[in-house]
C-alpha cells in the first residue's frame, strides 16, 4: 500500500537542466518545471479524513490502483463501488461532488466497456469547468446554467483523453462561479469544505476536485489553472498540483491559448508519479491548436527518479506583487525546502528573477481576466436562449464583466503587450538558474467566507491577491510550475512549496 508522503524521510531530485524536480522516494517529478511552490499539510482542526483510514483503496494512488487492475488484484467494479461508497459517506460534509454520475460509471465498469488504457478502472472526478462531457450537467459554478438545467452539447478533447486512458468517470466537482476567485464557495452549489478542517477553504477554483482527492474519494481529480486554480487548492488540501506549460495540453474545442493565454489543464493528485502518468496520458495538441509545447524526449513517468546533476536553485519568499506580507509559516516552508535541497548537494541561493517584482502585473492580469467575461456571457446566451442579467450571476462576476465591457481594445492590447514584456524579463533568469522555490500561498488556508464582501465585491477580489501572489505570474509567462506538500505548520495545516519546475504530495487527516 502506498504510504503518505509525510512518512518518507527524504527527497530525491529527478529532472535535468533547464528544469528540476523533486521526488518523495516512490513518486518522482519529471516535468521540467522551472518553479516549485511549497505548501501545506495539516493534522488538526475538525476534519473528516479519519473516516477513510480503514480503506486500503482510499490510501492508494492511481498508479497503484491501476496496477491492481492489470494484475487481477482488483476489478474496475470493485474500485468504482468503493469510491462511490466513500463519496456517499463523505460528500454530505464536504460538498465536493455536485453532479454524481454513479449508475453509468458502474455500468461501464461492469460491462468491460472501459478502454484498456494506463489507468483502466481507476475512479476520477471532473471539475465542472471545462472538461465537459456531452449530455452531462455543466454549470461552471453559475446559477444561470444550473437554473436552465444546462447540459453540455459536446465532449471536450481533454475529457476524451481522460476517458481513453481508462479512467472511470464518476461525476463532476464544485467550482467557484467561472473560476474567478481562489475559494470554492459558489452561490449556485454552496461551499466546499476542506477535509483537513471543515471551517477552512479548499482554495479555488479546483477546490471540489482537491477536496475529493484529499479525502480519499478518488486518487485523481481533473483541474485547470488560469491564475493558480490547480496550485492554490493543492496546498490548501495537501496535494500535488502541476500547472503544465502553455500548449502542453489541448483546450479544444472550448478555447485556445491565443484567445485565453492564461488557462492550462491537468489535475490534482496525491503523488508525483500520478501527475507524471496523467500528463503522459493527456498531453499533446490536436489539429488546429495554435500553441503547441515541444514534445518531451521520453515519457514523463520515465523521468521519475532520474538524476538531474547538481542544480542552481533560487528562493523567493517575498511577495512579488506587493499585495501584502507573506506569513511566517509560508516563509518557513520555502526556507526548509531550500535547506533540504542544499543538503542534497545543490547550490541554493537567494537570487530570483527581479522582473517578477511587478505590482503593475495585478492590473494587467485583471484586464486580461475581465475582458473574456462578456464573451462568456454571449456564449451562454446563445446556448440557453435568454440574456444573462445581474440577477443571474454573483455580484463580483457582474462587476468584473462590467469592467470587461468598459475595457477598450487598445487597453487590452496594451495589457497583452505588457504581459509579454514581463514574460521575457522573467524567463531570462532561467538562462543561468535551474529552479525557483517559493511558497505557494502567502498565508495558510483561510476561513470560509474570507473573500465575501457583499457591500463592495471588488474588495474580495483584491483580498484574494494578498492570498495568492505567487501563482498568477506563471500563468502570464506560460511556464510550468508545481506545488508540492513538504511542510506542516504547528497548527497542523498542510504547507506546500511552489516551484517553477517541480515537487510531491502529502495527505490530509480528514
Catalytic residue among 229, 358, 489, 505: 229
R_g of the chain computed on alpha carbons: 21
**How much is the pLDDT for 488?**
81
Read off the pLDDT of residues 83-142 as tens digits, 9 standing for 90 and up: 999 999 999 999 999 999 999 999 999 999 999 999 999 999 999 999 999 999 999 999
- Determine the Cα–Cα distance for residues 249 and 38; give it in Å rounded to an integer: 24
508: in domain: no
The closest alpha carbon to 186, from 163, 206, 166, belongs to 206
Q: Is it the case that residue 27 has pLDDT exceeding 60?
A: no
> Average pLDDT, stretch 220-238?
98
Would 372 be classed as within a structural domain?
A: yes
Which domain range does residue 236 map to? 17-295+303-500
Residues 157/253, Cβ–Cβ less than 8 Å: yes
Residue of 30, 43, 127, 249 with catalytic role: 127
Contact 422, 355 (CB under 8 A): yes
In angstroms, the CA 393 to CA 357 distance is 34
89 is catalytic: no
Domain presence at residue 1: no
- Cα–Cα nearest to 496, from 266, 228, 299, 262: 228
Has residue 22 been placed in a domain? yes
Instruction: Look up the CATH number of the domain holding residue 453.
Output: 3.90.1300.10
Q: Are residues 505 and 483 in contact, defined by beta-carbon separation less than 8 angstroms?
A: no
Closest CA to 311 of 276, 350, 349, 337: 349
| Model pLDDT, residue 416 | 97
DSSP-assigned beta bridge partners for residue 82:
none
The 10 Å Cβ neighbour count of residue 490 is 8
Q: Are 162 and 126 in contact (CB under 8 A)?
A: yes
CA atoms within 13 A on the CB side of 290: 8
pLDDT reported for residue 510: 39
**Residue 173 neighbours by CB under 8 Å, 6+ apart:** 96, 97, 98, 125, 126, 127, 128, 192, 206, 208, 209, 211, 212, 221, 222
- Out of 21, 43, 47, 205, the active site residue is 205
Q: Are 128 and 110 in contact (CB under 8 A)?
A: no
pLDDT at residue 55, rounded to an integer: 62
Tens-place pLDDT, residues 349-397: 999 999 999 999 999 999 999 999 999 999 999 999 999 999 999 999 9
**Secondary structure (H, E, C), 105-145:** HHHHHHHCCCCCCCCCCCEEEEECCCCCCCCCECCCCCHHH
Look-up: residue for cell 475529457?
159
Give the pairing of strands 312-315 and 347-349: parallel
Domain count, the chain: 1
Tell whether the model's pLDDT for residue 284 goes beyond 50.
Answer: yes
Q: Would residue 509 count as lying in a domain?
A: no
Let me know if 21 is a catalytic residue: no
pLDDT per residue over 429-438, tens digit each? 999 999 999 9
Residue pair 24/505 in contact (Cβ under 8 Å)? The answer is yes
Cα separation, 461 vs 479, in Å, equals 24
Band of the pLDDT at 506, cuts 50, 70, 90? very low
Is the predicted pLDDT of residue 8 greater than 90, yes or no? no
State the Cα–Cα distance between residues 472 and 231, nearest whole angstrom: 10
Predicted pLDDT of residue 459? 96
Determine how many CB atoms are found less than 10 A away from the CB of residue 254. 20
Q: Does residue 3 fall inside a structural domain?
A: no
Q: Which residues contact 260 (CB under 8 A, 6 or more apart)?
A: 226, 251, 372
- For residue 382, is it within any domain? yes
Residue 227, all three cell numbers: 491564475
6 falls within a domain: no
205 is catalytic: yes
Residue 35 pLDDT = 81
CA distances 493 to 234, 336, 437, Å, are 12, 16, 20
- Burial of 427 per CB tally in 10 Å (0-12, 13-18, 19+): middle
pLDDT at 30 > cutoff 80: no
Amino acid at each position: 500500500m502506498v504510504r503518505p508522503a509525510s512518512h518518507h524521510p527524504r527527497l530525491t531530485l529527478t529532472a535535468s537542466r533547464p528544469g528540476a524536480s523533486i521526488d518523495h522516494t516512490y513518486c518522482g517529478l519529471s516535468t521540467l518545471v522551472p518553479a516549485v511552490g511549497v505548501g501545506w499539510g495539516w493534522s488538526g482542526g475538525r476534519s473528516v479524513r479519519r473516516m477513510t483510514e480503514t480503506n486500503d483503496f482510499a490510501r492508494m494512488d492511481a498508479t497503484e490502483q491501476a496496477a491492481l487492475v492489470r494484475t487481477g488484484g482488483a476489478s474496475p467494479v470493485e474500485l468504482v463501488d468503493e469510491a462511490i461508497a466513500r463519496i456517499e459517506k463523505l460528500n454530505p460534509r464536504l460538498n465536493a461532488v455536485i453532479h454524481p454520475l454513479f449508475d453509468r460509471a458502474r455500468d461501464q465498469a461492469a460491462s468491460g466497456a472501459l478502454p484498456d488504457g494506463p489507468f483502466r478502472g481507476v475512479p476520477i472526478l471532473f471539475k465542472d469547468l471545462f472538461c465537459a462531457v456531452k449530455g452531462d450537467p455543466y454549470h461552471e459554478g453559475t446559477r444561470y446554467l444550473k437554473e436552465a438545467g444546462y447540459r453540455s452539447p459536446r465532449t471536450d478533447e481533454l475529457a476524451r483523453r481522460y476517458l481513453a486512458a481508462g479512467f472511470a468517470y464518476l461525476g463532476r466537482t464544485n467550482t467557484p462561479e467561472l473560476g474567478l476567485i481562489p475559494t470554492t464557495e459558489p452561490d449556485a452549489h454552496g461551499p466546499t469544505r476542506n477535509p483537513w478542517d471543515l471551517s477552512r477553504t479548499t482554495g479555488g477554483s479546483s477546490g471540489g476536485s482537491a477536496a475529493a482527492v484529499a479525502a480519499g474519494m478518488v486518487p485523481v481529480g481533473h483541474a485547470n489553472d488560469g491564475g493558480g486554480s490547480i496550485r492554490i487548492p493543492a496546498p490548501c488540501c495537501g496535494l500535488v498540483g502541476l500547472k503544465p506549460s502553455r500548449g502542453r495540453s489541448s483546450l479544444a474545442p472550448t478555447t485556445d491559448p491565443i484567445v485565453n493565454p492564461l488557462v492550462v489543464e491537468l489535475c490534482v493528485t496525491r503523488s508525483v508519479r500520478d501527475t507524471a502518468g496523467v500528463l503522459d496520458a493527456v498531453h499533446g495538441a490536436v489539429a488546429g491548436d495554435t500553441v503547441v509545447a515541444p514534445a518531451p524526449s521520453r515519457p514523463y513517468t520515465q523521468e521519475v527518479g532520474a538524476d538531474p546533476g547538481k542544480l542552481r536553485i533560487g528562493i523567493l519568499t517575498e511577495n512579488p506583487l506587493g499585495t501584502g506580507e507573506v506569513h511566517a509559516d509560508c516563509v518557513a516552508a520555502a526556507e526548509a525546502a531550500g535547506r533540504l535541497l542544499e543538503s542534497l548537494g545543490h547550490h541554493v541561493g537567494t537570487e530570483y528573477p527581479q522582473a517578477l517584482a511587478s505590482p503593475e502585473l495585478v492590473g494587467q492580469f485583471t484586464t486580461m481576466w475581465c475582458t473574456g467575461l462578456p464573451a462568456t456571457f454571449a456564449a451562454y446566451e446563445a446556448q440557453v436562449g435568454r440574456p444573462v442579467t445581474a440577477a443571474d450571476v454573483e455580484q463580483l462576476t457582474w462587476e468584473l464583466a462590467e469592467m470587461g465591457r468598459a475595457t477598450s481594445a487598445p487597453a487590452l492590447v496594451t495589457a497583452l503587450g505588457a504581459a509579454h514584456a514581463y514574460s521575457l524579463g522573467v524567463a531570462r533568469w532561467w538562462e543561468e538558474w535551474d529552479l525557483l522555490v517559493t511558497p505557494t500561498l502567502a498565508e495558510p488556508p483561510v476561513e470560509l467566507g474570507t473573500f465575501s464582501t457583499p457591500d463592495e465585491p471588488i474588495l474580495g477580489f483584491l483580498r484574494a491577491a494578498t492570498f495568492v501572489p505567487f501563482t498568477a505570474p506563471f500563468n502570464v509567462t506560460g511556464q510550468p510550475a508545481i506545488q508540492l506538500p513538504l511542510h506542516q505548520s504547528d497548527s497542523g495545516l498542510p504547507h506546500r512549496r511552489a516551484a517553477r519546475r517541480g515537487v510531491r504530495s502529502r495527505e490530509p487527516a480528514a
